[in-house]
Structure 1
Amino acid sequence: MTQMILAGPLAAPEMLAVLGCAGDPVDLPGQMHGGAGAGIGGDWPDYQPGEGRVAAVSVESTPQLLRYLEVMGLSPLPLATGEVWGFGGGEGQDWQPEKAALMALTAQAILTRNKGDSPQHIRARLTRIAEIAAAVPRAAFGPQPQTHLPPPDPARVEIRSRAEVWGGYFSVEQLSLRHRRHDGGWSDTLSREAFMSADAALLLPYDPARDEVLVISQIRIGPLARGQAQVWMLEPIAGRVDAGEPPEATARREAGEEAGLQIGRLYPLPEHYPSPGANSEFFYPFVATADLSGHRTGHGFGVAGEGEDIATHILPRDELVTLALNGQIQCGPLVLLALWLDRHADQIRQDPAHPDARQGGDLAGT
């Protein structure tokens, strides 16, 4: 083991705990700038000498620390106090201490589930890993259904091993576990794979004045892999919840990216797992008021860097419901959104808030 100085985000108590480090504070005069995405896919803060103090600590190296530094591709900065780790180019907004908890969750995921991957491969996937890690506190502190179910109790499940067996655009983990049966006994040890994905926000824009909706279409790999001839799907606007981003903000951001649309008031539907038997993905669906009078069916939307080629379709609400009920919509979440809107459209039209929502109203009522 060697003595190392960690500064800025690396010196946060949450990070020190994950990296197995403890040590003594170091007096490091100066300031940090940028680096809001440090450890979750963005740049690390840069260091500027001068007035102020930057949190720093002198620690003995650990295998976890050395692996993490290798994955992050960090290099030490030579200063009068010695070589200091934790600084980079400083791009983006300033790093804030509240980012440390998500950094630590992401670091833990890297250190425990990606041991066989090269540092370069993990670094390329860092944004995706952070998005999945960000779902952990939402799952832990979100709703825990109990009606007709056993009480939520971690002691009812014994996870014997857990490892990532594939990591790319998505991730697949293999778990070995046993669980309490309904008769009170224990199950046999089970081996199961889980498709790991970030949480997602889904959005159906609705114009109460015109009684119209906007949906999108794009190619989908699932139907293609299954062998279906029609691989373009009518869908709601949707996107992954970025690390540290509220689902409501995701819905608004995706409306702009996938439809060039500014939305107003958000009406949340029940949050849910679309396929809990094998998929960790969790949905936050919304209907939102929008002024569709200046929009027409078209194409050319989406983020080019993500390979998106999206078309928008504006149609009467009644047609959407008909398509959902006659099987012309095969995207389950859009069926749910269509039927929910069919039940609540009158209430939305009578909501006194919706005219103001066209000017970009608050999230009141969400």
Structure 2
Amino acid sequence: MADLFFFGTLRHTPLLELVLGRSGDALNALSAKLPGHGVYQVAGQPFPAIEERQGATAEGVLVQDLSPADLDALNFYEGGFGYALKPVTVQLADGGSAGAEVYFPEPGLWQTEEPWDLAAWVDEWGALSLRAAEEVMAYHGRMSAEEVARSFPSIRRRAAAWLAGQARPGDGVHDLSRDVIVHNHNRAYLNFFAMEEMDLQFRRYDGSMSPVMNRACSMAGHAAVVLPYDPVRDQVLLVEQFRAPPFMMGDAHPWMWEPVAGVIDPGETAEETARREAVEEAGVTVLHLEPVARGYPSSGALAEFIHIFIGIADLSDVSGGGGVAGEGEDIRSRTLSYEEMMEGIDAQTYQDMPLVTAALWLSRHRERLRAEHS
């Protein structure tokens, strides 16, 4: 049996319960402190790290008598992020002391900032971390901790997208607690994207429940799409890049002309993503965003929710772009007249549906935009 001192996110009981797969009421947990150590926010990450600091004291919880299965689950959850157990002596609330182990990061792994606050973390990141941990722990025993850790940024994005979906209002007609029954949920594949499948029933229009059906989808998350438009010059900017899915479908033309697009990171708005991606992919500074549409581009197969914008810009001043090399992007851009783009739309030259959507919206609002920005 093992005794562990938790100083960070696993002090949040719902997260610890999820990782261990059992109730916190069954745990032998005590409030404890680790003198000579502090808990600090990791720069650019939604979690803390513990460091030796003279005069500091790390608040936490000591959980005793953890089983080998508990330890295996905890090592899986923490092990992919460069954390390893080390022995310490903690102080208990009654004035006594106890031996324990703590997950310490590899030296120099993280750059830390201000002291970390558990309550503030729960408010901002608690729900997202719980959703992300569900996906992580679904692969316990199927993948290594390191393999899952490589996919953790996209896991967080999917968790943020799921929470955003939960926050959107329902249709006022269906009650999902009664009108959809999930019999089995299988997370089948994990990488940058994920594949999930469910055995489920839904309520039919005659009031009966459907037969149990197996359905699967590709889990992508949320994305922002922006078509840069210069109303003064009446020009748009498109980007072209190789797209593997059309190639895998056997398409003879897998290099696609598209608007600028990118996945929305947790804590980032769709508008912020659109502006960031315009600079990264096309070297364009967006001056103003016009919302076009938001929704699912292929609701029968793809769990992706996209936000489409027209980005008002000065296309005489385009510099940089080309994508992020570290993400495998190789992008070129082209500026063309509005009329030339619409000729391509009418000729069905373009295969990217968000581009078609943005172009058709622009055709309805172009005169207003030109008048407003002349």
TM bracket (short chain): 0.7 to 0.9
> Which sits farther off after the overlay, 332-341 or 201-210?
201-210
Tell me how far 1:313 sits from its aligned partner: 1.0
Cα distance in 1 between the residues matched to 2:218 and 2:7: 36
Q: Deviations over 1:188-236 (max 9, x none)?
A: 1111111111211111111121111111011112221222222211101
Partner of 1:321: 342
Distance 1:238 1:92, change over 3 A: farther
Cα distance in 1 between the residues matched to 2:274 and 2:140: 30
Tell me how far 1:143 sits from its aligned partner: 4.5
Distance 1:144 1:342, change over 3 A: farther
1:289 maps to 2:295? no
Cα distance in 2 between the residues matched to 1:99 and 1:52: 25
Q: TM-score, normalised by structure 1?
A: 0.85
Distance 1:210 1:300, change over 3 A: closer
Partner-residue secondary structure (3-state), 1:228:
coil
Larger Rg: 2
The answer to whether the Cα contact below 8 Å between 1:3 and 1:58 also exists between their aligned partners in 2 is: yes
Cα distance in 1 between the residues matched to 2:321 and 2:365: 31
Cα distance in 1 between the residues matched to 2:155 and 2:365: 37
Partner of 2:30: 24
Partner of 1:57: 61
Of residues 279, 303, 309, the one that matches 1:280 is: 303
Tell me how far 1:44 sits from its aligned partner: 5.3
State the identity as a percent: 32
Partner-residue secondary structure (3-state), 1:197:
strand
Distance 1:92 1:203, change over 3 A: farther
Cα distance in 2 between the residues matched to 1:197 and 1:215: 23
Letter paired with 1:242: D
Cα distance in 2 between the residues matched to 1:310 and 1:27: 52
Tell me how far 1:37 sits from its aligned partner: 5.5
Partner-residue secondary structure (3-state), 1:244:
coil
Tell me how far 1:34 sits from its aligned partner: 4.1
Cα distance in 1 between the residues matched to 2:282 and 2:175: 40
Q: Give the root-mean-square deviation of aligned CA atoms.
A: 2.6
Partner of 1:9: 9
Of residues 155, 158, 164, the one that matches 1:138 is: 164
Stretches of structure 2 that go unaligned for 5 or more consecutive residues are: 91-99
The answer to whether the Cα contact below 8 Å between 1:46 and 1:90 also exists between their aligned partners in 2 is: no
Letter paired with 1:151: H
1:151 maps to 2:174? yes
> Which sits farther off after the overlay, 164-173 or 64-73?
64-73
Cα distance in 2 between the residues matched to 1:271 and 1:281: 10
Of residues 83, 86, 91, the one that matches 2:101 is: 83
Letter paired with 2:60: A
After superposition, residues 97-246 of structure 1 pair within 5 angstroms as 97=121, 98-113=124-139, 115-145=141-171, 150-246=173-269
Distance 1:37 1:65, change over 3 A: farther
Q: Deviations over 1:107-152 (max 9, x none)?
A: 1211135541222221221112221122111010024345xxx435
Q: TM-score, normalised by structure 2?
A: 0.83
The answer to whether the Cα contact below 8 Å between 2:81 and 2:149 also exists between their aligned partners in 1 is: yes
Structure in which a larger fraction of residues adopt strand: 2
> Number of residue pairs matched?
345
1:47 maps to 2:51? yes
Stretches of structure 1 that go unaligned for 5 or more consecutive residues are: 356-366
Tell me how far 1:87 sits from its aligned partner: 4.4
Partner-residue secondary structure (3-state), 1:277:
coil
The answer to whether the Cα contact below 8 Å between 1:36 and 1:99 also exists between their aligned partners in 2 is: no
Tell me how far 1:17 sits from its aligned partner: 4.0
Tell me how far 1:53 sits from its aligned partner: 4.5
Tell me how far 1:169 sits from its aligned partner: 2.8
Partner-residue secondary structure (3-state), 2:204:
coil
Letter paired with 1:83: E
